[in-house]
Structure 1
């Protein structure tokens, strides 16, 4: 069994599992999938190549890395941090560029493995690559190389868990981890995966929920991802954000981020950031990705930003499915030692304290 540079083992999924799951995900899983042991993270077969590149990536002291599971509020957090770092007075012309050009991410290369310059759907990123990486090959990982060559200070993004990165990361670089209650996250995932080209989820919402809980969706499982960051929460270079806290009291969370990032913004500048990065403002500016990567998109539809609400899960879960997920959340959250804010509670009967002490490291 192959091992990553991080020491994790790579296991190919069985043909039987792949044939079954492909009924829901179209051609997306067909080229092959692997699980990264021991937690079983599910990625395309090319992922080990780019996970090793990420493990050996040279992060710098002035970098900021945003980490989260899919659809947890990562893009919102990226835009907030980019605005705090580079646009607190709302006068930076680069703010009009799609976020992916300003804050690239590490995850996309494993989906683009083997795609040539001519074939890539990310034409705007190709232009950036050709400018930043002359003489390099796009086949060696367009996004990873852009992350490497983009001028500092860099704001980067990863949906990979911290355990797959170099253990020295937090001794060098500031990391902001974003978490969201799993019920709202599942709803957001469902609508996003139905619209994303080359994914085009074919199943029902209930089927997606069960695949999520079983760890059979891309980037899953969910709980080890959170647990891995939660165990590092006392490190001075790790800042944890709950999506629900950010929605409930944006200015409070911006002040916490300002302290963590040492940006020293004034109250007026923080208000600029809050207004510029509100859900309605970001949605009005359009997709954070410049290229056409969505399926069956209607005119003027913004796929990436749907509702951005806390508690929208109530409009999509049946009572039976809600109770099943509540039991799963209670069991897994207790095992991971994670306490969600009361405002993100997945059921009306549960109200954990938002001020629970984090675990010691």
Structure 2
């Protein structure tokens, strides 16, 4: 019976679906916010052209997407942090499956306003939340670099709930509490789909693909310099010690929170900055302030069942 609290009722699912503007279900599997995505765009990605100079960052939502995007952007620009900061992140690292039909053309995030890449850019970078099966074929065939960033699911869940408060494309659901969000998250009835499937599919795939790398949010928190050193090698953009130090400093939590380009609250079409900060805490272990004992026990049981034999584990 303990497992039941991990499943939302039909009523909870319908309520959530109705609160997400233009919600739709892609492929009968994943709930998507229609304000920023569409079936057409996701289907068209199958043939998206990618080559060895491209990097695709993959995350389940709220697993360090913005952090890793800024990190990779700083690496491919060889530590030119002054050069990249004035350029909005949406222009440097666009969202692969974004559909801009509801975004005004004069918005800085609209592709029409995308600046030419900076001279220091050695590669193009995107991010995506899509399941492995919907990745562009070129990425699946190992033609470009794919970086997966994973995060402890309990911290991800808490961060994801807070994200619903400020995200207009998820309906600014300020009255939703963790008890209501918990079963939606654990069952995968949210943007990004099921956390377990997302993580384990990519984890297994990364093991057999030399052009793919699986990194954990927690390891980045522990020793960012070490991760940067390994990532620059992986991407093929070697940095000097001085450039590396700049990247690490630029991507510290304090710098990220104070940086308008990464705190993303300036995107008025997507976020309501009165409702909170895009970059909130960036800590490890915040879930302990939110999970009840029953939720924690039920989640641990589900985690054990879903992750068994995968070889992937989070602290």
Taking structure 2 as the reference length, the TM-score comes to 0.84
Change (3 A) 1:217 1:338: farther
Q: Contact 1:124 / 1:290 at 8 angstroms: preserved in 2?
A: no
2:95 to 105, 116, 119: 105
The aligned residue for residue 164 of structure 1 is 134
2:180 to 164, 188, 207: 207
User: How far apart in 1 are the matches of 2:179 and 2:311?
Assistant: 25
User: How far apart in 1 are the matches of 2:247 and 2:91?
Assistant: 19
SS in 2 for 1:58: coil
SS in 1 for 2:40: helix
User: How far apart in 1 are the matches of 2:105 and 2:164?
Assistant: 17
Change (3 A) 1:314 1:131: closer
Change (3 A) 1:321 1:339: same
The aligned residue for residue 203 of structure 2 is 230
The aligned residue for residue 297 of structure 1 is 274
| RMSD of aligned residue pairs (Cα, Å) | 2.7
1:216-242 Cα offsets, whole Å, 9 max, x none, are 112211111112211222311001111
1:70-123 Cα offsets, whole Å, 9 max, x none, are 00111101111111111415342x3222211211112331xx54x3xxx63871
Structure 1's unaligned 5+ residue stretches are: 1-15, 133-145, 346-361
User: How far apart in 2 are the matches of 1:95 and 1:27?
Assistant: 34
Change (3 A) 1:130 1:72: closer
Is 1:265 the counterpart of 2:242? The answer is no
The aligned residue for residue 5 of structure 2 is none
Is 1:23 the counterpart of 2:7? The answer is no
Structure 2's unaligned 5+ residue stretches are: 1-8
Q: Contact 1:87 / 1:95 at 8 angstroms: preserved in 2?
A: no
Q: 1 or 2 for the larger relative contact order (CA 8 Å, sep ≥6)?
A: 2
Taking structure 1 as the reference length, the TM-score comes to 0.74
User: How far apart in 1 are the matches of 2:80 and 2:23?
Assistant: 47
Larger Rg: 1
Is 1:288 the counterpart of 2:269? The answer is no
